[in-house]
Structure 1
Amino acid sequence: MRPSHTLTAIASASLLTLSTTSLAGEEASSEVITITASKVSREKSYGGTRARSATRSDADQLDIPQTVTALPRQVLDDQAARSLQDALRNVPGVGLSTGDGQRDQVSIRGFTAIGDQFIDGFRDDALYFRDLSNIEEVEIIKGPASVLYGRGSSGGMINRVSKRPGVDRSEIALSIGSWADKRGEFDLARKGEKLSWRLTGALEDADSYRDQQFLKRQAIAPSLLYQIDADTQLLLQADYLKDRRLTDFGIPSYQGRPVDVDPSRYYGAANAADADFSESEVASASATLSHRINSSLSLRNALRSYHYTLDRANTTTGSVDEQAKTVSFNRGAVSRAEYGFFNQTELTQKFALAGTHHEVLYGIELGRQSKDTITYSQSKVATTDLFNPVLPVLPRAVSGKPSADNRALLTTTAFYLQDQLSLASHWKALLGLRYDRFEQQTDDRRVGQSDLARTDHTVSPRAGLVWQPTAQQSWYAAWSRSFQPSAESFALAANNADLAPEETTNSEIGAKYELFGGAALLGASLFRLERTNIKTVDPANSTKLIPVGVQRTDGLELSAQGDLQGGWQILAGYAYMDAKVIESTATDAGQPVQGKRATLTPRHSGNVWLTRALSERLSLGGGVNYVGDRFANTGNTVTLPSYTTADLMARYALGAWQLQFNLNNLFDKRYIVAGHGSNANLNLPGAPRNASLTARLRF
């Protein structure tokens, strides 16, 4: 189904959902009421004491021998977070990337996570900017996660938990902000005896502090929950997102720093709206059937399909002549079309054996993705002054033959097993193992190019031991391993098709402590994360890659999150990351890469966000975010300086209405929020002081 037709289909499904629900009864089973009450009790919470992504079950954080950060909806609303980048700045140890100006991209614990995006446990590795209007919570797992999710996840993964039916409330929000930002959101939901429905969506039209930048997006997501009987339910979900914006690669560098220009300065085409834009469309549909067989067995089958297209054109800074103080421009164009599906079948069994209690998860995952890509590139289309560029008017089309024209087929067949054990009175364990058969095929449509294929068979283990001397605290030790195949989520190339997957291992010890009856959580962890067999250009043959690289991160993370006494809520964290390339024969910008720090990864980063309800009507909040200096490229020749920003929030409630004011970058700090990671001349300035006003009606 094409995305242009998908919006109509989703709208029709939404109307059908509304009309069907009106026929449902008004009484709910006691089981459904219990689940709903639990959700409502956490609605306005900063949470953090429970997480789902690490075990694929709703688990107490004290039982999880791994660092997991959960960002609930209330945090996103309080901070007026509009993007995934807005949300992830709350997570120390996460480095922000420009994502080529057309996608969400971060590094976690010093390793890129370009393909480690998930939605409700399904892989979501298409290259686009996500919207948060349909998101209930964002969970970030630190460390390898292949044991449950397959390929990737060197430093961690991001799982967005979508809003689901089962609540009986609705809300509409309208926001206006700096630079003509206008956004409307809606979240409509009703609960019935058999049928419950929910419909979320957003419209946004905005300019930017960046010259020529614009954003136009539309999102809609209907869902339907059918309670077939007391033990069986069917969840149907769909979503559609269209996003069009300037493809913004940021600013170049000069003498080891980003060039000192106003944050608004744009380096690209003078006619950027026509020549430098990215337009993506994403549509998906999923069905999840859950059945409780008896008190010890339950079965779940979930199927998700998606379709994604991208039309991108861009002008980027090519090279900088520091002596002449000039910069050249390159042109590029990318067309992507993807579709695919994943199916997960899981059986959960609970039993006791020889004085131990077990919750065992048996899983099978099948998936297939087809990814078509055509790219064009053209070098040195113009040259201009570095500090006062005169932007060229450029054509939409990029001349020449395509530099890539291929279709990648990715097939996943996986089996996984996990056991959550309760041993002696104060001891628990988490054991897991996953087998993946990952098949890659690349059909190269260029003349004279050969098709490529490889199949990898990998095993991803995990083991963790937890000691809980009291009901409020836990101490743990854990080890896990993941794999990163050649090309991973992209097309194979001649220089990597014969190379085995890279491997990442994580060794971690930590502690977690619950406060105020489980309303808040403190956490601390020490870890070593190491990735081996990293592909590097062969010094003797520049057309060949060899697996000789090793990168390691030694780190410390501290966190505090939840609801305190006296109306206070907190979200705080600190991370120390010693991320280095231990072995490599590669060079960058004339420098050996071995011994250099990992890009986009500060040694020190931290944040504190606090809110307090002064009365039933008035709440105030504010926070500080610190990011240490980072390197923009692997040769470490360009530094992105450290920065500190401060934000404020005030909210006033009157009955069903709320009025919220957010002021960001209070002291109008100049800073670089993101870099590219492998190119020193693509650095994105952060936003100057800006404000937004949001009116929200709940009914």
Structure 2
Amino acid sequence: MSESLTKRATRRWRMGALLPLGAVLSGIAAAAEAPPAEGAGEEIVLKDVKVKAARDKKTGAYKADTASTGSKIAMPIRDIPQSVSVVKKELIQSQNAFNLRDALKNVSGLTIAAGEGGRTGDSITLRGFSANSDQYLDGVKENGQYSRDTFFLERAEVLKGASSILFGRGTTGGVINQIFKKPTGQNHVIGDFTYGTYDFKRSAIDAETAYDNVSARLNMMWQDSDSFRDYNYLNRWGIAPSFRFKISPDTELSANLLHQEEGGVFDYGVPIYRGKPADVPINRYYGFTDNQMQDTDVNVATVALSHRFNEALSVKNTVRYGDYDRNYLTHLFGAVNDTGLTSTVARTQALRANNQENLYNQTDFVFKKPILGFNNTVMFGAEFGWENYDFKSKNSTGVPSISIFNPVLTPSVGSGLATDFSGTLATDRYTETRTYAGYLMDQFELTPEWKLLAGVRYDVFSAAQNDRLNNANDFGRIDRQWNPRAGIVWQPTKAQSYYFSYGTSFNPSAEAYSLSEATNTLPPEKNRNFEIGAKYDLLDGKLSATAALFRLEKNNARTASPTNPDLTVLSGEQRTDGFELGLAGEILPRLDLSMTYAYLDAEVTRSNSTAVGTISGQTKSLQGMIPVNVPQHSGVTWLSYHLTDAWEIGGGVFYSSERHTDTVNEVTLPGYARLDAVLAYHQKHYDVQLNMFNLTDTVYYESGQTRSALPGAPLSGQLSMRVKF
């Protein structure tokens, strides 16, 4: 293992050396005298010419007017009868949000969780429901398990509520759609260089060029950093080229590739003690110092061909291949032996490897032609895809317990360490899934003020599981599901938009690549979302205000059978009632704002299932419990004020109320408010930016599980320089 890590580290450092360092100073302005005019005895006075090296200020930088996630085509957000949040690159850059999960903290109703069970990488809860498999890139599934960087992203769009008509299985709370940085036909080179506390080092390049009918763009990133957590580190590099070929005025071919590698430490933080994170220093590490491993290798290739037949009809076909390879040593906490200051916590360790391959082909037609004098847009198409998932796990033996308040770290677990997959395995499973789907949607304009959106999608989702350890666990099933969607939009003026929508989604038993004797005969869970909302443009369109009131419910959730607890039936219920508010844009001259707030009232309203509380030791019903990782209140406010054309100051507050991390609500992460700030100096050819995080040095916990909590970063800072050619 150590040799492999050394080779990976060497490749990362070589890659880092390819990213140039340097800066371009501001340019020199020069003026030339005008030649004397006829009748040269007269004195000529030239007007003063002011030359500014600072950047042209962009107002409303955080406000998005269009989105491509609420439909199959890019359309005005005001026309989408559903809540859509857009995190633009300007906000990502202002906050130095280098990870997608940090950028998504700006989205109302969305929280980040620690990985559940065998899952690692980005783990997301949206409107009270898991959205782990609901990640997309340019509208096509991209659901591998890894921590996503933002170096290749133009922005992130989040569609809220059940949305299987657009994206198929899952999508209960909504979807996260990443938008790739694509060629724009310009010529530029931008280099970003950052250094921060805990020896944080990062370089990135965004280069673009165009010639005749061909344009290309290249994004590259290298990062090497330690952590406020002891014995933690992160090495990451990535490359993301993209191309666009204009074959004819009506035909275009585009292609892009994402390659990202990462090495780090599997660390879920500190143990839970008496229902809360243990009162220990947030840097305290409880693992082993010489057998850490968490390696990820991701490759995602996409090719899209679009053609316009005429003014009314166009088509786009997209093919995507994804390969996600992850190898890691887990470190999980077990039961606590509560003896006060001498308390100990059990530990488990396993060597795990998961490889996932995706192949998707998606065809989308758009037909725009008035019907009976009414404007009309019909969208229809098909999707075909397969996903293969291979998962192995081997437990280490002889893993000792450790003191919670006075831990003594040991270098390894000796001969019990799982170093390969020979011998006895805990899991060895291979799952294949297949998706075949077709959809039809229509946006019909009754009048300029009234618009209707309706459609339906039909999915066939099949899964076959091969358990290499026990043939009795070889299962397969096929699910067939219709999912409708309907919405109405009323726009009495250009500034106002009000809507009501209804949408559905489904969760098949094999959604997460696993079937069991209890679930292989169960049809999908079904969900529905009712939503009413408003979108309002203020201050001559410089500021947008949004509000949404919704109910999201799962009316046939999996639960234990009332007659046989070993069986699973679809008779449970879970629902989330809530509302969201948002403001984005320029609220005063030179003052930009992004503000979101969500209130979530989530509850398991009916369940026969029970669980044993890790604190009380009592068996409790899940009915009446709040789902895992759902704060009742959460929100973000981020302000940016341009003191002059060159100087910018800003900051914001990230807020969350308390959350439960276990199913019977005995474990709680406390609520928190974190204050960040930014100071930037902008010039034509360079920017300098200072970001400060957690200015009040608040102790808080970003995520957690039943037995662990991951602390957030303490007071820290990063200094960045951006060079622009």
Q: TM over 0.5: same fold?
A: yes
C-alpha deviation, 1:448, in angstroms: 4.2
Preserved contact between residue 48 and residue 520 of structure 1 (Cα < 8 Å) = no
Preserved contact between residue 351 and residue 396 of structure 2 (Cα < 8 Å) = no
The 5-angstrom pairing of residues 175-324 of structure 1 reads 175-271=194-290, 275-323=291-339
The 5-angstrom pairing of residues 40-55 of structure 1 reads 45-55=61-71
Amino acid at match of 1:196: S
> What is aligned with 1:639?
668
> What is aligned with 1:455?
478
C-alpha deviation, 1:617, in angstroms: 0.8
Preserved contact between residue 391 and residue 427 of structure 2 (Cα < 8 Å) = yes
> What is aligned with 2:27?
none
Preserved contact between residue 328 and residue 380 of structure 1 (Cα < 8 Å) = no
> What is aligned with 1:567?
590
| Deviation sequence 1:346-390 (CA, Å, 0-9, x none) | 110001112321111111100011111111235772112122222
Equivalent position SS for 1:170: strand
Change (3 A) 1:548 1:376: farther
Preserved contact between residue 49 and residue 519 of structure 1 (Cα < 8 Å) = no
Residue from 633, 641, 647 that aligns with 1:618? 647
Equivalent position SS for 2:229: coil
Residue from 594, 597, 608 that aligns with 2:623? 594
Equivalents in 1 of 2:333, 2:485: separation in Å?
43
2:383 is aligned with 1:365: yes
Residue from 595, 600, 607 that aligns with 1:584? 607
> What is aligned with 1:695?
721
Equivalent position SS for 1:159: strand
C-alpha deviation, 1:591, in angstroms: 2.4
Preserved contact between residue 60 and residue 586 of structure 2 (Cα < 8 Å) = no
> What is aligned with 1:21?
none
Equivalent position SS for 2:91: helix
Equivalents in 2 of 1:70, 1:167: separation in Å?
24
Equivalents in 2 of 1:526, 1:378: separation in Å?
49
Residue from 417, 431, 435 that aligns with 2:458? 435
> What is aligned with 1:29?
none
Amino acid at match of 1:232: T
C-alpha deviation, 1:539, in angstroms: 6.0
The 5-angstrom pairing of residues 13-412 of structure 1 reads 45-99=61-115, 102-168=120-186, 169-271=188-290, 275-323=291-339, 325-378=343-396, 381-392=399-410, 393-395=412-414, 396-397=417-418, 401-412=424-435
Amino acid at match of 1:403: A
Equivalent position SS for 2:400: strand
Equivalents in 2 of 1:276, 1:144: separation in Å?
39
Equivalents in 2 of 1:532, 1:150: separation in Å?
18
C-alpha deviation, 1:419, in angstroms: 1.0
C-alpha deviation, 1:400, in angstroms: 6.0
Structure 1, unaligned runs of 5 or more: 16-39
- Shifted more, 552-561 versus 647-656: the winner is 647-656
Equivalents in 1 of 2:586, 2:306: separation in Å?
32
Equivalents in 2 of 1:251, 1:56: separation in Å?
43
Equivalents in 1 of 2:472, 2:155: separation in Å?
45
Preserved contact between residue 318 and residue 379 of structure 1 (Cα < 8 Å) = no
Equivalent position SS for 1:352: coil
Equivalents in 2 of 1:239, 1:461: separation in Å?
33
2:687 is aligned with 1:669: no
Change (3 A) 1:448 1:408: closer
- Shifted more, 368-377 versus 140-149: the winner is 368-377
> What is aligned with 1:683?
709
Equivalent position SS for 2:346: strand
C-alpha deviation, 1:545, in angstroms: 2.1
| Deviation sequence 1:91-117 (CA, Å, 0-9, x none) | 121121012594001100111111111
Preserved contact between residue 398 and residue 413 of structure 2 (Cα < 8 Å) = no
C-alpha deviation, 1:42, in angstroms: 8.1
Equivalents in 2 of 1:518, 1:231: separation in Å?
33
Equivalents in 2 of 1:251, 1:209: separation in Å?
13
Equivalent position SS for 1:469: coil
Equivalents in 2 of 1:304, 1:340: separation in Å?
8
Equivalent position SS for 1:585: coil
> What is aligned with 2:520?
497
- Shifted more, 351-360 versus 521-530: the winner is 351-360
Structure 2, unaligned runs of 5 or more: 1-6, 19-55, 614-618
C-alpha deviation, 1:540, in angstroms: 5.3
Amino acid at match of 1:397: A
Amino acid at match of 1:197: A
Equivalent position SS for 1:127: coil
Equivalents in 1 of 2:570, 2:292: separation in Å?
36
Amino acid at match of 2:654: N
Preserved contact between residue 270 and residue 708 of structure 2 (Cα < 8 Å) = yes
Equivalents in 2 of 1:380, 1:532: separation in Å?
44
Which structure: larger Rg? 2
2:531 is aligned with 1:508: yes
Equivalents in 2 of 1:518, 1:225: separation in Å?
32
Equivalent position SS for 1:92: coil
C-alpha deviation, 1:403, in angstroms: 2.1
Equivalents in 2 of 1:267, 1:504: separation in Å?
40
C-alpha deviation, 1:447, in angstroms: 4.1
Preserved contact between residue 356 and residue 421 of structure 1 (Cα < 8 Å) = yes
Equivalents in 1 of 2:58, 2:216: separation in Å?
20
> What is aligned with 2:36?
none
Q: How many residues align?
A: 659
Preserved contact between residue 594 and residue 639 of structure 2 (Cα < 8 Å) = yes
Equivalents in 1 of 2:659, 2:160: separation in Å?
20
Preserved contact between residue 267 and residue 317 of structure 1 (Cα < 8 Å) = no
C-alpha deviation, 1:576, in angstroms: 0.6
Preserved contact between residue 102 and residue 278 of structure 1 (Cα < 8 Å) = no
Equivalent position SS for 2:516: coil
Equivalents in 2 of 1:689, 1:127: separation in Å?
29
Output the TM-score relative to the length of structure 2.
0.88
Preserved contact between residue 397 and residue 413 of structure 2 (Cα < 8 Å) = no
Detail structure 1 runs of 4+ shifted over 6 Å in the superposition.
40-44
Preserved contact between residue 99 and residue 148 of structure 2 (Cα < 8 Å) = yes
> What is aligned with 1:20?
none
Equivalents in 1 of 2:689, 2:90: separation in Å?
13
Equivalent position SS for 1:115: coil
C-alpha deviation, 1:685, in angstroms: 0.7
Output the TM-score relative to the length of structure 1.
0.91
Equivalents in 1 of 2:367, 2:387: separation in Å?
31
Equivalents in 2 of 1:211, 1:672: separation in Å?
16
The alignment-based identity, stated in percent, is: 35
> What is aligned with 1:656?
685
Equivalents in 2 of 1:193, 1:534: separation in Å?
56
Equivalents in 2 of 1:270, 1:543: separation in Å?
41
Equivalent position SS for 2:559: strand
Equivalent position SS for 1:500: coil
Preserved contact between residue 329 and residue 379 of structure 1 (Cα < 8 Å) = no
Amino acid at match of 1:253: I
Preserved contact between residue 407 and residue 491 of structure 1 (Cα < 8 Å) = no
C-alpha deviation, 1:615, in angstroms: 1.4
Equivalents in 1 of 2:57, 2:381: separation in Å?
31
Residue from 507, 526, 543 that aligns with 2:549? 526
Preserved contact between residue 307 and residue 316 of structure 2 (Cα < 8 Å) = yes
> What is aligned with 1:31?
none
